[in-house]
Amino acid sequence: MSPAATPAGVFDALPGLEVPVGGIAQGFKQLWADSPAKDSRAVQLNLVLHLGRNCTPADAQEQFRITLRFAQRYPCRVVVLCPDFDDAAPPAMRAKVYGECFLGKSKTDTRCVEFVLLHYTVAVRQHLENQVSVCLSTDMPLYYWSHRFSSARRLADYGYLLTRSRRVLFDSAVAPADAFTYPWPNQAAVRDLAYTRTLPLRQNLGQFLSRYAPPLIHGGLRRVTLQHRAQFAAEAACLLGWVRKGLVRSGAEVGAIAFEVTPQDCAGCFGLEFHYADPAKVFRWSADLARDHAEFLGDLGTGRTTLTAGAHFLAPDMALSEAMFF
């Protein structure tokens, strides 16, 4: 049996004090009993982190660390769902509690995060919604992050989270293909973390291109090519989609423009180029994410311009907050 399929492998790999499912509140009292922050643990939101079938124990630990870093800025109650995919497993639900506090901008600014971890078998799945509701902080906004799920269709069982959450998050770099065709109950709430990670790249590209009038950008444009490291296929697709939407907003007839994306064998590369009917017109952006370095070259009829800039993805915890709040 693979690590991802081990019945309690993900749950056991995560930190926390194991408590009876009916004793979660008492578990937190015990956890915070000797903490100086026990009277200042106000939270701002609820986050449900759903670890799917393709999540390994090591990956679960990494997502846990990302959430902790996120919570240093946004104190929250996190409920981590660790489903057991063994259909023959007997009815069972286990729970852990975990808490940690951080100093904020001053010694009196204490920020805390509380985790409830739930491991459950298929046989008790119907009771999960009530249990999650009990674990959440009342009157706080709810966010749902589904990580490494095997099929978007299977998420239909979690309708409460899909419909009640202010944001529904997934990462197309590790999500199944049907994540893009699934009829999400609230499409406007869905955010792709792969797209969010490209924010610094989009900002730099947008700032450079904003110096040109839209007709100069799309006039005579015949082809847009994007080269990328194979590992960054999801981010490249998101970036090319953003370019296409930007051209549409600028008035371009995108049906007459070819869009090509090509993986490359390189350390951390991205390269975007606009190809024009007029060979004198050029726009080229070449980035090396491994070195946080990018070069711009533009000549769209108003003179040649070059620029050196940084090039990096948002850190995972920053991408999480960007996707949730913007």
User: 7-22 burial by CB neighbour count: b if 16+ within 10 A, else e?
Assistant: bbbbbbbbebeebebe
The gap from C-alpha 43 to its chain's centroid, in whole angstroms, comes to 21
pLDDT tens-place string over residues 67-88: 999 988 898 999 999 999 888 8
Mean of the per-residue pLDDT values of the chain = 93
Residue pair 311/200 in contact (Cβ under 8 Å)? The answer is yes
Architecture of the domain spanning 199-309: 3-Layer(aba) Sandwich (3.40)
177 phi, psi to nearest 5 deg? -60, -30
Of 86, 91, 99, 112, give the one whose Cα is nearest residue 21: 91
Closest by CA position to 25, among listed 124, 104, 123, 131:
131
| Both tokens assigned to 38 | 């026990």
* Interatomic CA distance for residues 93 and 234, integer angstroms: 35
Mean of the pLDDT values across residues 131-142?
A: 93
- Sorting pLDDT into bands at 50, 70 and 90, what band is 38? low
Question: Structural domain boundaries of the chain?
Answer: 3-193, 199-309
pLDDT at 34: 74
Token pair in block for residue 31: 């956890």
pLDDT of amino acid 250? 95
CA distance 326 to 322: 6
Average the pLDDT over each of 52-66, 126-140, 245-259 and give the range with the smallest value: 126-140
d(CA 135, CA 116): 7
pLDDT digits over 283-305, tens only? 999 999 999 999 999 999 999 99
* Predicted pLDDT of residue 108: 72
In this prediction, residue 168 carries a pLDDT of: 98
Q: Give the contacts of 93 (CB within 8 A, at least 6 positions apart).
A: 21, 118, 119, 120, 121, 124, 127, 128, 131
What pLDDT, on the 0 to 100 scale, is given for residue 110? Answer: 78
pLDDT for 37: 64
- Who's near 96: CB < 8 A, 6+ residues apart? 11, 14, 15, 16, 17, 18, 19, 115, 116, 117
pLDDT of residue 7 exceeding 70, the answer is no
What's the confidence (pLDDT) of residue 39?
Answer: 59
What is the reported pLDDT for 6?
47
174: pLDDT confidence band, cut at 50, 70 and 90?
A: very high
Top-confidence residue, 66 or 40: 66
% of residues, the chain, pLDDT over 90:
82
